[in-house]
Amino acid sequence: MKVRSMRIPEDIDRAIQYVSKAEKIENTQSLRKLARLGFELYAALNYQNGRITLRETADLLDLSLSETIELLEGIGVKGNIRAADVLESLNRFQH
């Protein structure tokens, strides 16, 4: 894991504190969780807007296609899944 140093705006710091308290976790864990959630949303919106494919989304998030579909459904992103994506996924299960 890399170490990064950055300035955190006050509103983001309050969000980190809120999550830390609500989930009873350390501030660093809270920051990592919020960063991951933000990146997941960023990737999902890019997928939803057709800027990236389902495969690219899965690769960015380091998830399988089925995990990515679950994530997208969980945050309410309707898929633009192509038949080729479905067939590729099915072929992976057969091998």
- pLDDT, average across residues 1-17: 94
Q: What percent of the chain is modeled with pLDDT above 70?
A: 92
* Count of the separate structural domains present in the chain: 1
Q: What pTM, to 2 d.p., does this model score?
A: 0.77
Residue 79 has pLDDT above 90, yes or no: no
Query: 38 lies in a domain?
Result: yes
Whether the CB-CB separation of 65 and 55 falls below 8 Å is answered with: yes
pLDDT, average across residues 12-26: 97
Is 4 domain-assigned? no
- List the structure tokens of 81: 């899944």
pLDDT at residue 84 in the model:
73
Q: How many helices (H) and strands (E) does the chain have?
A: 5, 0
Q: What is the pLDDT of residue 70?
A: 94
Parent domain of 62: 10-94
In a domain, 40, yes or no: yes
| In a domain? residue 24 | yes
